[in-house]
Structure 1
Amino acid sequence: MGQPDASARLIDVELDETIGRSTPDVEHERAVAIFDLIEENSFRPVGDSGTGPYRLRLSLAEARLVFAVARENGDPVATHILSLTPFRRVVKDYFLICESYYEAIRSSTPSQIEAIDMGRRGLHNEGSQTLMDRLTGKIDVDFDTARRLFTLVCVLHWKG
């Protein structure tokens, strides 16, 4: 195996004004999710003949998430629009189990906490796989990048 392609990556993720602002806690979670995503990712628009690294601008249009991909210099590469409908159930279930997890941390045994956390990770993996599937043929990402992007999708929904 060779070295990963250093140009097939994101160097910037921006949430545009359609995303809206939220509580300081939610804004912090969004910033952490973006930091983690930029820190380590594998990202390449399918069929892009140029080279990265890339900038990603996320916005909302109706019930859709818009991925606007640009080169490092800002030149547009591609825009992909994903319906958020396929994510509704898994995001809702993920939030419910996260609430249970945070409640369990305060009052449950380590084995109960571990069981809830396994369920939480399983739902996160399911959402990440759904995102990877929805990006197939549009943007190539590895599973870890899909996980970080799914975390960001979740915090876009989180009201705090």
Structure 2
Amino acid sequence: MTDGANNHRLVAVTLDGGSIGAAASPDAEHERRVAIYDLIEDNSFAPEGGHQGPFTLHISLVDQKLSLKVAPEGGEEAMTHLLSLSPFRKILKDYFFVCESYREAIRSASPGQIEAIDMGRRGLHDEGADVLVERLRGKIAIDKQTARRLFTLIAALSWKG
């Protein structure tokens, strides 16, 4: 494979089943599958240190920390990054609240109210993505879209129902 964009991307993403916890709703499962599909289809993912990709990523929770296990496709593990979830806690709490408000609003609110709630949800999503980019600085270079999709997966792992 030639050096370039194809080397700086994810080709597979898995979530640790034990980290997900209790059985999720069909909607939550669907959201995870879509986030993983979208992430694999379009991403920019370049671990620091000259590692050659493309890469696989396994995401789990270990002792209340986010674990990102990165390996070259078909290869052995290249690195594991553990990130504290503390910088994400308030964002995730607010994000879950707004997502629940959005689900409730769909049933009875006006289109304008639904749009306002969704704008708030997208703003929190962007904030979570920005925190992720900052927390990975010097470890893994990712673009905004990749960070947004990864934040969706972090939220999926952090959701306690």
1:58-93 CA distances to partner (integer Å, 9 max, x unpaired)? 122111011111011222221110011111110110
The aligned counterpart of 2:39 is 37
What is the count of residue pairs matched by the alignment?
156
Residue ranges of structure 2 left out of the alignment (5+ in a row): none
Q: Which moved more, 1:96-105 or 1:146-155?
A: 96-105
Alpha-carbon separation, structure 2, partners of 1:17 and 1:98: 23
More helix by share: 2
Instruction: State the partner residue of 1:13.
Output: 13
3-state SS in 2 of match to 1:76: coil
Runs of 4+ that moved beyond 4 A: none
Identity of aligned residues (%): 56
Change (3 A) 1:129 1:100: same
Q: Which amino acid aligns with 1:45?
A: P
8 Å CA contact retained: 1:30, 1:156: no
Question: How far apart are the structure 2 equivalents of 1:28 and 1:69?
Answer: 24
Matched, 1:148 2:149: yes
- Output the TM-score relative to the length of structure 1: 0.90
Structure-to-structure mapping, 1:1-160, within 5 angstroms: 5-21=5-21, 22-25=23-26, 26-47=28-49, 49-160=50-161
Q: Is the 8 A contact 2:54 2:73 kept in 1?
A: yes
Unaligned runs of 5+ in 1: none
- Where 2:7 maps in the other structure, the secondary structure is coil
**Superposed displacement of residue 18, structure 1:** 3.6
Deviates further, 11-20 or 82-91 = 11-20
Deviates more, 1:119-128 or 1:23-32: 23-32
Normalization by structure 2: what TM-score? 0.90
Q: In the alignment, residue 7 of structure 2 is paired with which amino acid?
A: S
SS of residue paired to 1:13 = strand
